[in-house]
Chain A
């Protein structure tokens, strides 16, 4: 069973801190990875894509990929209460199948 594993949380951080969200995957054939944000009662929204080892930065978000360790992470700098949501990690092997993790709930305290 190919899986993407995430700690369900909740992860609680104070406003202005760095939130670190982690994800591991079992399928070594996974080539690209994605982070989606899902607010309560809403649908997932794509926030970051990463296709190669290393870091990718976009505003306050940094995605990190380490294929050797089968590990993906998302860092959120200067966390805001509006960042409180569930973050879904997803791995894609090509073709049509994207495997999603169950998500990590993040709570940013004002």
Chain B
């Protein structure tokens, strides 16, 4: 595996379900990100982890819960979602938050549909 991988690629869930998204980076980076991408809207930063410590939580509803067990893995736990949460969820990683934190490498994304 190379780069940043995400599973599952597609997910349909009901509003009462609990599911998790998984991200793994094989780049040796020290920061990982979750973004939400909705149609015709800018990428919305949700969470950032640096060296497994959460350093950014961008006013995300508590029905989204991140977990970063190590610098290579990132999870997004989902529960009691709303239909407006349907979107593409992207994971990204970067090497250096100061000089290169903007040089991010994205996984393929999980297309989430909440019914």
- The distance in angstroms between the C-alpha atoms of A43 and B42, with both chains bound, is 13
Where chain A touches its partner, the secondary structure class is strand
- Chain B, interface size: which category? 20 to 34
Across the interface, which residues of A come within 8 angstroms of B106, CB to CB? 43-45
- Chain A, interface size: which category? 20 to 34
- Interface residue ranges of A1-57 to B (CB < 8 Å): 4, 8, 32-34, 42-46, 49
Within the complex, the shortest CB–CB distance from A32 to chain B, in Å, comes to: 5
- A102 near B40: Cβ-Cβ < 8 Å: yes
Q: Say yes or no for B101: interface residue by CB 8 A criterion.
A: yes
- A44 near B43: Cβ-Cβ < 8 Å: yes
Q: Say yes or no for A98: interface residue by CB 8 A criterion.
A: yes
Across the interface, which residues of A come within 8 angstroms of B45, CB to CB? 97-98
Number of A-B contacts (CB under 8 A): 60
Across the interface, which residues of B come within 8 angstroms of A33, CB to CB? 102
- The distance in angstroms between the C-alpha atoms of A45 and B105, with both chains bound, is 7
Chain A positions 53 through 93: 1 when the CB is less than 8 Å from some CB of chain B, otherwise 0? 00000000000000000000000000000000000101110
Within the complex, the shortest CB–CB distance from B1 to chain A, in Å, comes to: 16
Q: Say yes or no for A100: interface residue by CB 8 A criterion.
A: yes
Select one of A34, A42, A101, A102 contacting B102, CB under 8 A: A34
- The distance in angstroms between the C-alpha atoms of A97 and B98, with both chains bound, is 10
- B42 near A4: Cβ-Cβ < 8 Å: yes
Q: Say yes or no for B48: interface residue by CB 8 A criterion.
A: yes
Q: Residues on A close to B: CB < 8 A? A: 4, 8, 32-34, 42-46, 49, 88, 90-92, 94-103
Selected A-B contacts with CB under 8 Å, 24 pairs = A32-B99, A32-B102, A34-B104, A42-B108, A43-B88, A43-B106, A43-B107, A44-B106, A45-B106, A46-B104, A91-B102, A92-B101, A92-B102, A94-B98, A95-B97, A96-B31, A96-B33, A96-B48, A98-B104, A99-B42, A100-B42, A100-B43, A101-B42, A102-B40
